[in-house]
Amino acid sequence: MSSSTNDLLRFAKTLAGHYSNRKQAQNNPKDFAHINIFFRPLPWEVLNAPGFYSEQSYDHAPWSPYRQGVHRLLPAEGDHFIVENFGFGDPIRLAGAGQRPELLNSLNTDSLKPRCGCGMHFREIDAGHYRGGVEPGKNCLVPRDGHLTYLVSEVEMNATDWISRDRGFDPETDEQRWGSEHGPLRFERVAYLGDHLDEHWLRW
């Protein structure tokens, strides 16, 4: 296995997981809700490429996620890894698949639509420690409260932790329209979901 393939596989194994900010929410319930994040690997045949299903939900409503996505992992370009972002039809059918992966059998790949400008670019800043953000260009547009905003998403992750912050800004004024005013969300890894991944899953 080449060094670039090994690097990509190590990144994929780090990304794949279940994360929870339970401690943060318990310590500061006024400012932070208890949230679960899942990045669950998809069988290679789903996208004919290495891919993931992602889901974010409040702990009290695991069957009503507020964010879902399908992602394709691209070969490393230079010093960064690219995670493409897709929307899909009838997301309610997959709601809860973070915890119950058999629901992913309902994924209709024909309904996948690229979320242009919303790919995530990650770099390894220390061994096993990655930092990422939405691709440059302010083109990941998200409607919120009657306004069109562009997304700024920042993530740091390693074998044990996931730190993220999502904010939306006005395309004309760059004024922040939504997002945490109390700093980033701090998650701990609850479970590894990528132990079965190997170079055959990458297949580039």
**3-class DSSP state for residue 192?**
strand
Domain of 49: which CATH number? 2.40.128.590
Q: Please report, for the chain, how many H helices and E strands are present, in that order.
A: 3, 13
Instruction: Give the pLDDT mean for 21-26.
Output: 98
Average pLDDT score, the chain? 94
Residue 144's DSSP bridge partners are: 147
Lookup: tokens for 54 = 């992602």
Per-residue pLDDT at 175 exceeds 70: yes
Report H helices in the chain.
3-15, 22-27, 199-202
Average pLDDT rounded to a whole number, residues 96-114: 95
Provide the domain limits for residue 189. 3-202
Give the integer Cα–Cα distance in Å for 196 and 54.
18
Instruction: List, for residues 25-51, the tens digit of each pLDDT value.
Output: 999 999 999 999 999 999 999 999 999
Tally of domains in the chain: 1
* Mean pLDDT to the nearest integer, 94-107: 95
Taking the model in full, what pTM does it have? Answer: 0.94
Q: Residue 2: its pLDDT value, please?
A: 67
Q: Report how far residue 59's alpha carbon sits from residue 62's, in angstroms, rounded to the nearest whole number.
A: 6
pLDDT tens, position by position, 46-92: 999 999 999 999 999 999 999 999 999 998 777 899 999 999 999 99
Do 140 and 121 meet the contact criterion of CB atoms below 8 Å apart? no
Our measurement of the distance from residue 144's CA atom to the centroid of its chain's CA atoms, rounded to an integer in Å, reads 19
pLDDT of 1 reads 58
